[in-house]
Structure 1
Amino acid sequence: MIVYCAAAACAIGVVLLASRLVRRWRGVDDPDPDGPTTAHSGAMLSALFLLAFAIAIVVPWTTIDAARSNTYAESHAISEAYWAASRLPPPDARHVQAGLTRYVALVRGPEWRLMEHGRLSTRGRDELDGLRRDVIAVNAGTDELKDARTAVLDHLAEISAAREQRAMDARTTPPPGLLAVTVLTGLAVLLLPFTSGARPRGATLVPLSMMAALLAAGTYLTVDISHVFTGALAVRPDAYTSLQAQLQHISGGG
């Protein structure tokens, strides 16, 4: 942040120095609100705002879309593990399936509320680790049971990988500097007519007010969607809600 502030200060110094040199050597004064200086500054400020705004929208949107796909990948791996566990000996099968059901309930309930604050619960990881140890300990006396045990372990590994990705998604946010630049350039675009000496009156306030309202709404949107699991585009636990019904269907013999 210090480097960014220093770069901005240097740029302002260059502008002040250039204005003095040009004034001393040649050139004409440009005090008009619609003069070339204001026109150039306005165009560049608008371009900078649009660039920062586009990045602040596209990056979270892409992250949210990937995070949503990952939740469905994790739910699919849980479903496959549930099916594979049915090939284990009945006591072990019921134990593993019950553990997977608890894990799904944990994810879509308490853990999802924690993800809104950028973290996951330790219970979910402990549940998966316990299931993995229990499956490894299954007495597989035949090749069929060995294959079933291997299949369950493979799917548990997939669940763990998807969970780690979900933990990264919960912590992912755009750089604070990007949101700051979006807000500052938006304010600069809004205040440019006043800082250039213009005094809007009457009907000219209507388009200016509309622009201000849209700028405020757009800037708030960049902040609102900056976190994957909160805000207007937040990823919801729909994949796990559907999975709960699916697991009940499987356990009921459907």
Structure 2
Amino acid sequence: MVAYVLSVIAAVGLVGAAAFTFRLAGKGSDDRDAGGPSAGHAGAMLSALFLLVFAIAIIVPWTTADAARQNTQVESRAVVDAYWTAAGLPADMVGPVRTGLREYVTFVVEDEWPRMARGNLDPMGGVRLDELRSRITELTSDDEDVREARAGMLDHLADITAARAQRAADAAAAPPSGLLTLTILTGLSVVLFPFLAGARPRGITLLPLVAMAAMLGFGTYLTWDITQAFAGPLAVGPDAFTAALHEFARVTGGI
């Protein structure tokens, strides 16, 4: 934070030093016109800066949400694959393991998803996966098919755990620190610049300024509203896990 403040002070000091130096040297001419070169240059640069910051504030959350959506597909696919692989386990384990997988997905959809909008996962989801892993790890058999099913299940559970960890990172992800503040400051600068430059718009000339301010306000609010991957207009829904529940029902004939 101190570095940011110092950089601002340095930039402002540079402007002051340049103005003082050129005045002493007698170079240039006074520019008091609201539409003069100084105001025109500053206005153009402020607009460009706002557009740059606004673009970053939109693209970063959009990319995060898209990656989070793809990751939910990866996790749900791993759960479905585990559900299929469970068929190779001993008969007395198939039902409990598949029930555990189904309960995990139901837990994610009904209990965990609302919590993810606040930026974190429910630790019980990890506990459920650990219980399934322990059950599979304790399985011993001389049957080659069972050993292959056991290895496959452990691989799928590892994939689910990895995807879950990524989902936790997606839920906690946020745009770079200070980006929203910079968006607000540059937006305010663009709106207030004509007045700061000395212009006093009146009557009909206020309409385009008001329209611009309204759109900038809406855009700035939008950048705040989409910062969370699992909340807001870009919110990633539990569609992939809901589809997995339907797949479970299809595999077991509706049971």
Q: Give the TM-score, by structure 1 length.
A: 0.97
* Counterpart mapping for 1:215-226 below 5 A: 215-226=216-227
Q: 1:61 maps to which residue?
A: 62
Amino acid at match of 1:133: S
Q: In structure 1, the residue corresponding to 2:249 is in which secondary structure?
A: helix
Structure 2: how far apart are the matches of 1:253 and 1:49?
55
Structure 1: how far apart are the matches of 2:164 and 2:247?
20
Structure 2: how far apart are the matches of 1:33 and 1:218?
27
Shift >3 Å, 4+ stretches = none
Q: What is the CA-CA distance between 1:140 and the residue it aligns to?
A: 2.2
Structure 1: unaligned runs, 5 residues or longer = none
Q: 1:45 maps to which residue?
A: 46
Amino acid at match of 1:118: G
Q: 1:161 maps to which residue?
A: 162
2:20 equivalent to 1:20:
yes
- Show CA shifts across 1:41-93 (max 9, x none): 01111111111111111111111101000001100000000010012112211
Work out the number of aligned pairs and report it: 254
Structure 2: how far apart are the matches of 1:215 and 1:140?
66
2:85 equivalent to 1:80:
no
* Counterpart mapping for 1:34-183 below 5 A: 34-183=35-184
Structure 2: unaligned runs, 5 residues or longer = none
Structure 2: how far apart are the matches of 1:197 and 1:96?
73
**Kept in 2: contact 1:140–1:149 (CA 8 A):** no
Q: 2:247 maps to which residue?
A: 246
Of 234-243 and 76-85, deviating more is: 234-243
Q: What is the CA-CA distance between 1:172 and the residue it aligns to?
A: 0.6
Structure 2: how far apart are the matches of 1:5 and 1:103?
48
Structure 2: how far apart are the matches of 1:252 and 1:184?
58
Structure 2: how far apart are the matches of 1:251 and 1:118?
34
Structure 2: how far apart are the matches of 1:185 and 1:39?
16
Q: In structure 1, the residue corresponding to 2:178 is in which secondary structure?
A: helix
Q: Give the TM-score, by structure 2 length.
A: 0.96
RMSD between aligned residues: 1.2
Q: 2:186 maps to which residue?
A: 185
Structure 1: how far apart are the matches of 2:93 and 2:39?
75
Q: 2:236 maps to which residue?
A: 235
Q: In structure 1, the residue corresponding to 2:67 is in which secondary structure?
A: helix
Structure 1: how far apart are the matches of 2:22 and 2:32?
15
Q: 1:9 maps to which residue?
A: 9
- Show CA shifts across 1:105-158 (max 9, x none): 111122112211111111110111110110111232210111111111111111
Structure 2: how far apart are the matches of 1:124 and 1:87?
25
Q: In structure 2, the residue corresponding to 1:95 is in which secondary structure?
A: helix
Shift in alpha-carbon separation, 1:218–1:168, aligned structure 2, 3 A: same
Structure 2: how far apart are the matches of 1:151 and 1:59?
36
- Show CA shifts across 1:141-186 (max 9, x none): 2101111111111111110010010011011100121111111111
**Kept in 2: contact 1:56–1:178 (CA 8 A):** yes
Structure 2: how far apart are the matches of 1:91 and 1:213?
65
Q: What is the CA-CA distance between 1:251 and the residue it aligns to?
A: 2.1
Q: What is the CA-CA distance between 1:237 and the residue it aligns to?
A: 0.8
